Amino acid sequence: MATTDSVTETQETQEQQGGSWKGGEAPFKASYGKLMMWYFLLSDAFTFAGFLIAYGALRFSSPTWPVPDFVFSTAPFGVHDAPLIFVTIMSFLLIISSVTMVRAVQEGHRENKNGVVFWMLLTIIGGAGFLGCQAWEWNNLIAVEHMTVNTNPFGTHTEAGVYLDAEGNETDETFEIGDSYLIHKAGGGHGADHGEGDHAEHDYSVGDHPGYVVNEQGFLQRKFLVTDGPNEGSVMAQQFGPKAFGALFFFITGFHGFHVFSGVVFLFIIMINAASGLYMARKNGHEMVEKIGLYWHFVDLVWVFVFLVFYLL
Amino acid sequence: MANMSYEDSKKLVYKGLVLLAVVTLVEVFFSLLGKGHVIGGLEDITWLGYLVGLILIVLSLYKAYYIIYEFMHMRYEVKGLALSVLLPTVLLIWAIIAFFQEGTSWKNRRQQIEEKDKQELKEDKAKEELEGMRMGKTIEFEYRG
């Protein structure tokens, strides 16, 4: 008990002097808010690292994996076969909005209210543009290419062979081991964009057909003749790619996109506050702008790694 | 930050913009090179794939360093703050090694199981062919039981 008493005593004396217990000292010479923002970002970094490492482990555990430059090769306005171009534009949007955020923080240090509002507005536009691009990318993957959290139509050939046509005869479409394919949904017009014309006249009822298999979800798995290796001469059908790909993609880019979204919301609130002169009155160099800036740069930082593992490698 | 003029720090920011944009473009170029889009046929060279992967990881880490140290002003913070935020991430190195090794071993196990399944299938077929003559008797025996 004696010890407790003496601790309370010291505490009281320190409080009188505005000591450590009363926040009289700033650890690491940083304010409470800034320090806690750093530690929040550290914990968030671990969450993202957990997600990305899970992606890596599942990718290593799978014999094949969808090739990013095949999966992400479409862009708006009917652009096809443009690998990684759209996602590079998305990266630039985040980098630019990060730079405008730095400018907002700099103007904040100079107590220049209008400068802060102007550069924050540009940052918000950059973030919203990124979200718009991501919405287009998701819509393309879900509505056009029919990828969901548990269906992955992006497959990889593990045999060399030649495709069969609807009647089961060989075509002149050959492929090698490691070539990628996208399993389309059966129906009229789906071949229009890969130069095969409309094949609406074929029978697309669920089941086994001479040249293809239509599964319950309506996916058309084309058949092919193996031309090399131990299975030479046998007829096989296209298989779906590793299931985990869709779930990992939507969860990880979705989690990052949600960070961008909440970042945009907070940027907006802080921009309004800055415009009202609230931070001018505090006379601390617009520290709130600096804190949301830390968060916004972190979102850009995470994208560096999401970009690396999902799109580049 | 404190000992730098406003004009200088403004210049530094736009230097950062150019730097990050260029590094990103270089990354995309290397990625496409490794996948055989720039020069056809390169995607079949295994060691080149590993080299490109290594270059991409190093460049990404450089971008991360630049964002943290310049944009997030870690360079101007007290050393203790930088260490307390950055050192814990070192733990991730072990997580990466452990989980990637685990993933590879899942793949190997699955392959082993598939191979064994194929073998057993063949052995079963061989047995059936051998015991084909006795099939009738077995059915009779089961019927009585």
Using alpha carbons, select from B18, B61, B52, B28 the residue that is nearest to residue A73: B28
User: Helices in chain A by DSSP H: which ranges?
Assistant: 2-16, 32-61, 68-71, 85-109, 113-139, 244-275, 278-282, 287-306
A232 in the same domain as A267: no
pLDDT (mean) for A109-133: 95
Where are chain B's structural domains? 6-144
Is residue A72 included in any domain, yes or no? yes
Does some domain include residue A8? no
Give A284's DSSP letter. S
pLDDT of residue A263: 96
Domain membership flag for residue A11: no
Of A218, A237, A256, which closes a domain? A237
> Are A187 and A143 within one domain?
no
Q: Do B80 and A28 lie within an 8 Å CB cutoff?
A: yes
Residues in B 36-95 with any Cβ partner in A closer than 8 A: 37, 43, 53, 56-57, 60, 63-64, 67-68, 71-72, 77-78, 80-81, 84-85, 88-89, 92, 95
Q: Show the domain range for A169.
A: 154-237
For residues A34 and A41, give the distance between their C-alpha atoms in angstroms, rounded to a whole number.
Answer: 11
Is there a single domain that holds both residue A178 and residue A300? no
The domain boundary, picked from A237, A258, A282, lies at A237
Q: A57: Cβ–Cβ under 8 A, 6 or more apart, which residues?
A: B99, B100, B102, B103, B106
Both A138 and A82 in a single domain? yes
Q: Tell me, yes or no, whether A177 and A213 share the same domain.
A: yes
Both A160 and A207 in one domain: the answer is yes
Structure tokens at B94: 């072990």
* Listed residues A175, A209, A237: the one ending a domain: A237
Residue A201 lies in a domain: yes
User: Which positions of chain B have pLDDT values less than 50?
Assistant: 1, 136-137, 140, 142, 145
Q: How many domains does chain A have?
A: 2
pLDDT value at A313 more than 90: no
Determine, for residues A98 and B71 on separate chains, whether the beta-carbon distance falls below 8 Å. Answer: yes
Closest Cα partner for A77 from A140, A12, A169, A151? A140
| A133, A262: one domain | yes
**Is A1 a domain residue?**
no
Does one domain contain both A57 and A124?
yes
Which residue matches tokens 């930050």? B1
Rounded to two decimals, the ipTM of the complex is 0.83
Please write the tens of the pLDDT for every residue from A259-300: 999 999 999 999 999 999 899 888 888 899 999 999 999 999
- Cα–Cα dist A153/A284, whole Å: 54
Q: What is the CATH number of the domain that holds A95?
A: 1.20.120.80
Poorest-pLDDT segment among A96-110, A149-163, A240-254, B29-43: B29-43
Based on the fold, state whether residues A212 and A266 are members of the same structural domain. Answer: no
Report yes or no on whether pTM surpasses 0.95: no
Summarize pLDDT for A147-187 with one digit per residue, the tens. Answer: 999 889 999 988 888 888 888 788 888 888 888 888 888 76
The pLDDT tens digits for B89-106 are 999 999 999 999 999 999
Question: Sign of torsion, CA A33 A35 A39 A45?
Answer: positive
- Between the alpha carbon of residue A3 and those of residues A11, A59, B139, the distances in Å are 12, 57, 87
With an 8 Å Cβ cutoff, is A307 touching chain B?
A: yes
